[in-house]
Amino acid sequence: MLVEEFTTLLEEHYPLSWQESWDNCGLTFGEPKAKVKKVLISLDCTLKVLEEAKKGGFDFWITHHPLFFDPFQKFDPKKEQHQIFQALLQKNIAHYSLHTNFDVAPFGTSEKMAEKLGLKGCKKLVPKPDLLSKLVVFVPKSHVLPLSKALSDLGAGKIGNYQACSFQSAGVGAFTPMAGSNPFLGKEGLEQTTEEIRLEMLLPRFHQNAVEKVLKKFHPYEEPAFDLYPLLNAHPEVGMGCFGVLPQKKSKNEFLSQLVEVFEVGNLKSNLSFSKPIQKIACVGGAGADFLPKALALGCDVLVTADCKHHQFLEAGENILLCDIGHYESESPIKKQMEQFCSRFKPEIEVFISTVEKNPISSSPFFQS
């Protein structure tokens, strides 16, 4: 498998258009025609993991966090990031970041946290807007079913737990084939009218480029008439964070003990004043305390996240339990998730999780009150 083929597969599931505006997801370095045989996965770009990649003969390195967030004008050999980039060039190791485009995916970082906590009925905490379009295409009745199925296979017409959703209305199409045309119906120079179906389907915007290929293959007309309308609707399956419920209510101490156990937390922080029973829980992997107002508005009892600030614990007060389990702890489970995703491309590639990466932050033990 080539680098360009592998990155295309990654981006079919985790489109770069899903990343936040400040982020830098995607290919940092990699020759498009270079071969990918051995993939290494880690959360961070560090010299220690780089050395593992070099010694292990890895040719593709996937990290959650980007190597660079901001552009730079001069190479500085004293900076670790620049040393890593230089080594990638020298050893021809491709590097790719799956960051916020992975976080917001239908089963992203926060959903993995929710899975470990045993939450049920999870939904996105903040669904992402500007990701959906409405496809309208006019097609003869005889070809509606094969075309709608092909569009459904592409990803159109999915709404929640329903797929192949469409709206169909009948009408009359009119056209006049011109010189050089090869009409499915009618003759050159003569106006043709025929019964057609207006087929409407919801379409994830990152699939738009593939629509014309599907129409060319499954629509009988030489020149299919279709429209794409950008929608203001938020994508219910793509967005930051998620929330769900525990099968049974728990006390504060029961829930904190569960967090420590399942995420292997060394230093758990939470607001002291909260004491209510717990059942509805919001999760945001990484630094997600800015979503505290949203979790409160949805009636959540807890927000589990990382990198919380002093004033955010004060804001939580007695209304919601704000739990800071640590950045690394909240995201570490996705390494296995990334490995499982990439392993579907075996035997063309081998996939491994870094064995040398450790939490960069040392924490004191948790003491339960």
Residues 118, 250, single domain; the answer is yes
pLDDT digits (tens, 9 = 90+) for 13-62: 999 999 999 999 999 999 999 999 999 999 999 999 999 999 999 999 99
Q: Are residues 10 and 93 in the same domain?
A: yes
**Based on the domain organization, do 297 and 320 belong to the same domain?**
yes
Q: What phi and psi values does residue 267 have, to the nearest 5 degrees?
A: -145, 90
Whether residue 200 lies inside any domain: the answer is: yes
Q: Of 199, 233, 267, which residue is a domain's last? A: 233
3-state SS class at 354 = coil
Of residues 307, 320, 328, the one with CA closest to residue 263: 328
Q: Are residues 118 and 137 in the same domain?
A: no
* Helix extents (H) in 14-143: 47-55, 80-91, 100-103, 109-117
**115 with 254, same domain?**
yes
Confidence of residue 369 (pLDDT cuts 50, 70, 90): very low
DSSP state letters, 112-132: HHHHHHT-EEEEEEEEESS-E
Same-domain pairing of 267 and 225: no
Q: Domain holding 40: CATH number? A: 3.40.1390.30
Range of the domain at 346: 3-102+334-353
Neighbours of 162 (CB within 10 A): 8
Domain for residue 359, yes or no?
A: no
Please tell me whether the overall predicted TM-score, pTM, comes out greater than 0.85 for this model: yes
In terms of domains, do 119 and 250 share one? yes
Residue 365 has pLDDT above 60, yes or no: no
pLDDT in tens, 238-279: 999 999 999 999 999 999 999 999 999 988 999 999 999 999
Specify the number of domains making up the chain.
3
Over residues 111-158, the pLDDT tens digits come to 999 999 999 999 999 999 999 999 999 999 999 999 999 999 999 999
Q: Are 121 and 251 part of one and the same domain?
A: yes
| Claim to verify: residue 171 and residue 313 sit in the same structural domain | no
Q: Are residues 122 and 245 in the same domain?
A: yes
Whether 361 is covered by a domain: the verdict is: no
CATH of the domain at 157: 3.30.70.120
Question: Using an 8 Å Cβ cutoff, are 220 and 141 in contact?
Answer: no
- Asked if residue 366 is part of any domain, the answer here is no
Q: Which two tokens stand for residue 30?
A: 């990699």
Q: Quick one: 185 and 269 in the same domain?
A: no
CA 207/CA 80 separation, integer angstroms: 38
CB–CB of 132/157 below 8 Å? no
Asked if 143 and 223 sit in the same domain, the reply is yes
Q: Which tokens go with 222?
A: 């030489």
